A and B are shown apart, each in its own frame.
Chain A
């Protein structure tokens, strides 16, 4: 394939016009001693039809949902992506544009992002939101950075019921800046004793947490605030039709993964980190914020605002280094939430909640299996199975069901526990099928 338009005649004329005699002249500034004096050891190019066939072959080596009925969770869920989402979000005018630095030519993207921020505020109960971050884990890092900046403290208390990958990302990032981390117990499937919070910048909990269980946010907020720390909540926005907004329960920063909002599974990315906080922290918010204003003729429009927080202006003093973010996924989420509407969001939550409880009842009645935790849960729960959870999951996959991850990813003691997630896409028949398959596998 060749996507360049140059004819031989073009090349000759252009070289002459620019004062060069040959293509190699253009590369004269590169010292010969470092030049690659050979062809690249890469495959040859191929026509579009062949590359498509090649890629179809690779794709066929994977076992996607559809082939497997998806009950997997752990931070990524098989929610339905309605047809208008891709048709609208992937319109070329959105997909093939870039950061709206020239607002007059970017009113489309800016307008959607303003709506996105508004919707995130609605879901989380917060006053300001940004225009997206990389993923839930990096959004958590930014929340920790806000908390350390706002409190002048550097001690971070992580819930033991946090997604272990998020905790790992937080430690990787915070370590370099000298932050210290401690982790609470989570033996009952929810955040245990917070311990001594003196000197803590923030407490981080997830709602629902990694085990699917619901946290008593108001109580955690009270203890956190009593110590002068901020409460950071990692919140699943698909639950927001049913669950109280974290902002109404005392959260100071609400972040999370927007994957469930019309994005799809995509083997883990691109997903959509979101970030919301109280208005008093607006100048510490990372990344882009879209604001409304007027043009020279008094007509309304949108711009990137408070850019003096950002790296291209503030450089090493910026609130964050994020530049390219996940705008296209934010557009998808905005279309999805508009499609859903308030009633749809409630129904989505109720459907997940009911399905998960139906599944929990059935699976826990399989001999040798039981619910790991007594705490209330939402769309996902931990199931204790006989023996190694990964082996049970493999047996279920042979029978066409995808579950997991095994909780060995969180702690070795939980190696016989499996996460099972139920979205609105799962039918009662599929849930019964899973229970039957489980009975066979553990028999």
Chain B
């Protein structure tokens, strides 16, 4: 956040508004104004109170706001579970090509053959990467992919057993979207504990399996950054009891080309293209959460799927899907995000994807070794693309993981994910990604070690951090107690 503008603290755009000022120019219809076309009760008397600003006001306001934001392009962003890797610039150029940007979702297939070919080929690539048979691109993010997968589970059990079963198993280290999706999918959650290795407790899993269990949602490597080495036994146990195995692909980056979910026994896979395939995270989205399934589940995928008529060399939307679970998205999913992911896949190729996994895992293990003494890992063993360590040793000095995170800000880094997964005390979940250099990792490690030292020598420094960010620690309790979630005329942008 260097180069931040000097000058008064930014206000909202509403506060820089002046009546009568404007940036827009809208072509006006020739002829008489459209009177009488709207029933009187439906006409709005005075327009919404949008801001009134010049184009330069607009540009300055949003440029200044942007300068109050961290980003990958600004610096290291080792947010665990989020895969904040570099987003190649060429992707934006490709996604902006008129042939991709300016096509309408209702256009008939013969007018969008390039788009359908892209989706079709991407489907083949993702099928190869996951070891699955078919793919849907409708889910707009990982969580929607999860729900899609759970609805496919329901459809499978309903078709084969006459009812959907009632329970889905979730490890206690799972991401919050997993249990939330289970509930939305009409299932109950049954939690499986992790054992001392940080892996699924096999005995507990076997004890939890019964005919009510529709499936198990698992990410592998798991949210502790560890590979579930018992995966074959887990899959066998689940399949023996008629359940399905769901792969949460948030951590797919670690294993690209090394091991495929299908070969591990998974039946349903979602991917987060915004993580593994570098589409920019956009301040919180958009993403894309394609779901891949094994051949026996392909009939249940959301409708339509892309079809290819080989004889005519023509792609089409296949709507003849009587067993489909239905529709998840208003149109075809986040196509523009898939375009970026496709570009990335073609840029890197198979060999490049394997290199990603190797270097992501190398970076994580390297960084983990550098900081191990001050921040012990939560579990032993080799980590994959991320690691979970703990700030617990600092606790005796009154310092918590949150203090470490905030102090890192002052030292020029985005903090790792803290307090997740919930099963580790004072958790710090660090995912450097493959695009960080050895020098950046050395610098991050040095900062983390410096903070561990400061926890003894000057804990106040940590409690007061950050002092270099645009704001200091914010009062979240107050935000929830005195809800102020919109601007209104006359009210200052804050109460005091």
Contacts and interface: CB of A to CB of B under 8 A. Distances in A.
Contacts of B494: 292-294, 300
A432 to B, nearest CB: 11
B184 A177 contact: yes
B68 interface: yes
Interface stretch (A191-199, A224-232, A302-310, A362-370): A302-310
B212 to A, nearest CB: 16
Interface string B67-105: 111111110010100101111101011101111111111
Given A92-B73, A138-B329, A323-B142, A297 B50 contact: no
A96 B73 contact: yes
A440 to B, nearest CB: 19
A14 B330 contact: no
A335 B63 CA distance: 11
Contacts of B363: 14
A424 B25 CA distance: 11
A345 B4 CA distance: 32
B70 A106 contact: yes
A257 to B, nearest CB: 7
A329 B478 CA distance: 29
Nearest to A291: B479
B142 to A, nearest CB: 6
Contacts of A145: 184
B71 A93 contact: yes
A180 interface: no
Contact of B151 (A2, A52, A172, A297): A172
Contacts of A270: 140, 285-286, 288, 334-337
A6 to B, nearest CB: 6
B483 interface: yes
A108 B180 contact: no
Given A5-B435, A91-B66, A111-B68, A172 B59 contact: no
A131 interface: yes
Contacts of A27: 258, 361
B414 to A, nearest CB: 6
B227 interface: yes
B172 to A, nearest CB: 10
Nearest to A29: B227
A176 interface: yes
A409 B304 CA distance: 13
Interface in B1-48: 1, 9-10, 12-14, 21-31, 33-34, 37-39, 41-45, 47-48
Interface in A131-187: 131-132, 134-138, 145, 163, 165-166, 168-169, 171-173, 175-178
Interface string B283-315: 111111000000000000010000000000000
Nearest to A139: B330
A66 B98 CA distance: 9
Among B87, B185, B437, B494: residue with most chain A CB under 10 A? B494
A188 interface: no
Given A29-B381, A105-B70, A107-B65, A64 B99 contact: yes
A93 B75 CA distance: 10
B252 interface: no
Contact of B287 (A89, A267, A324, A335): A324
A163 to B, nearest CB: 7
A82 B59 CA distance: 12
A258 to B, nearest CB: 12
B390 interface: no
A98 B27 CA distance: 36
Interface string A304-340: 0110101111111110111111111101001101111
B74 to A, nearest CB: 6
Nearest to B112: A62
B280 interface: yes
A2 to B, nearest CB: 6
A257 B330 contact: yes
B349 A44 contact: yes
Interface stretch (B238-246, B451-459, B463-471): B463-471
B484 A339 contact: no
Contacts of A93: 1, 66-67, 69-71, 73-74
A402 B107 contact: yes
A64 B103 contact: yes
Contacts of B183: 316-318, 321
A289 interface: yes
A266 B59 CA distance: 24
A324 B142 contact: yes
A66 B97 CA distance: 12
Given A17-B370, A84-B59, A122-B49, A320 B106 contact: no
Given A96-B73, A265-B105, A424-B26, A111 B180 contact: no
A102 B87 CA distance: 21
A131 B28 CA distance: 32
Nearest to A264: B101
B13 A376 contact: no
B55 A339 contact: yes
Interface stretch (B114-122, B202-210, B393-401): B114-122
Given A84-B55, A267-B103, A270-B334, A171 B98 contact: no
Nearest to B83: A98
Nearest to B96: A86
B485 A291 contact: yes
Interface in A113-138: 114-115, 117-119, 121-123, 127-129, 131-132, 134-138
A58 B24 contact: no
Contacts of B334: 134, 269-270
Nearest to B235: A34
A391 to B, nearest CB: 11
Given A98-B281, A214-B42, A397-B111, A3 B88 contact: yes
B385 to A, nearest CB: 10
Given A98-B281, A305-B483, A166 B359 contact: no
Contacts of A132: 285
From A137, A145, A269, name the one whose CB has the most chain B CB atoms within 10 angstroms: A269
Given A173-B147, A265-B105, A324-B285, A62 B114 contact: yes
B44 to A, nearest CB: 5
A340 B395 CA distance: 52
Interface in B210-265: 226-227, 229, 231-232, 255, 257-260, 263-265
Given A134-B141, A270-B286, A34 B263 contact: yes
User: 6 nearest interchain CB pairs?
Assistant: A268-B331, A59-B99, A328-B282, A45-B349, A61-B114, A108-B69
21 contacts: A1-B352, A6-B362, A44-B350, A51-B343, A61-B114, A94-B69, A97-B69, A104-B473, A138-B144, A214-B39, A267-B115, A267-B336, A291-B483, A293-B482, A312-B175, A312-B420, A324-B284, A328-B283, A340-B24, A340-B26, A342-B47
Given A109-B284, A301-B474, 12 more contacts: A6-B438, A17-B370, A62-B115, A92-B74, A98-B281, A105-B469, A291-B479, A292-B479, A294-B494, A305-B480, A320-B180, A339-B58
